[in-house]
Amino acid sequence: MVARLRAGHTVDVDAEVPPATTVEDELHELENAFAEVQRTAVGSAVQEATLRAGLNQVFLNIGRRSQLLLHRQLALLDAMERRVSDPQDLEDLYRIDHLGARMRRHAEDLVILAGAVPGRGWRHPVPLHDVVRSAVSEVEEFTRITVVPGQELSLRGRAVSDVVHLLAELLENATAFSPRDTNVLVSGQLLPNGYAVEIEDRGVGMPAAAVDEANARLADPPDFDPAHSSRLGLFVVARLAARHGIRVTLRPSPYGGLTAVVLLPVTWSSTGRARCRRSPRPRRPPVRCPPPRPRPPRSR
């Protein structure tokens, strides 16, 4: 019954636990007592499921509203960047644009918590290198991240948004839990069963028991628990990975930190390069060729 509630099914308390019958003797009285306990448990589970559904709807409404405002803000910034010629003003606009991209990712976290799909999407394949660079651009300390060029592969458009978000969450954790004078290394290689992206930091690492627990959550994402809000990024990564069949694994790094391995399904990639427009000022291109600084591609 609890599994049905978590799956979103409706449960009728009276149908699950019939009302008490007429008391004829002590055995019937005992039976009614057990039935009342069961009805209370079922009613509590239904109330909890209703509350959880209401919270998910709140997350979704707030996330969608924030997304709409941030999309408008980023569009206005993009128009201003095209008009500004002063280098200092342009640099300030880029910084605001960068903050807006990070705020958009946090708004998408609320949408993912609600079990919905963020609105960003691409119709054409995007080079995997540009997908990684877009994820880097959504991290506060992006200057500490070093990307090692890999094979020339393209990611199918339907997966680009979620992969960018997933990688950005892992990169944010890698920079947050490692010394500021160290770099985070991002590399990738093509394997028989997919494409592996490795994110390695040189931080303090995690105890073996904590790594095992995190890997268990990544392999089988649990329901969101507000009591574990400090692990929000891990929950979002687990949700995105489960949605697309991505395998995310944490392991100790030989430098003392952690290495996150993201295995993308081989069916997502292709060896052909994604088409990149050479127009100097396209309206909202999925990929900039080449961008003046790491910035997220504009969705369509």
Summarize pLDDT for 226-282 with one digit per residue, the tens.
666 667 788 889 988 988 889 999 999 888 889 999 999 876 655 544 443 332 233
pLDDT value at position 262?
95
Q: Which of 262, 219, 214 is nearest to 242 (CA)?
A: 219
pLDDT value at position 258?
93
More reliable by pLDDT, 61 or 116:
61
Question: Of 45-54, 59-68, 152-161, 206-215, which has the strongest mean pLDDT?
Answer: 206-215
Q: Confidence class of residue 23 from pLDDT cuts 50, 70 and 90?
A: low
Q: Confidence class of residue 79 from pLDDT cuts 50, 70 and 90?
A: confident
Q: Confidence class of residue 197 from pLDDT cuts 50, 70 and 90?
A: very high
pLDDT value at position 62?
81
Average pLDDT over residues 58-87: 83
Q: Confidence class of residue 297 from pLDDT cuts 50, 70 and 90?
A: very low
pLDDT(14) > 60: yes
Summarize pLDDT for 155-193 with one digit per residue, the tens.
888 888 889 999 999 999 999 889 989 999 999 988 888
Q: What is the rounded distance in angstroms from the CA atom of residue 108 to the CA atom of residue 101?
A: 11
pLDDT(296) > 50: no
pLDDT value at position 254?
86
Query: What is the share, in percent, of the chain residues with pLDDT greater than 90?
Result: 18
More reliable by pLDDT, 62 or 267:
62
Q: What are phi and psi of 270, to 5 degrees?
A: -145, 155
Average pLDDT value over all residues in the chain: 79
Summarize pLDDT for 28-40 with one digit per residue, the tens.
788 888 888 887 8
Q: Confidence class of residue 119 from pLDDT cuts 50, 70 and 90?
A: low
pLDDT value at position 169?
92
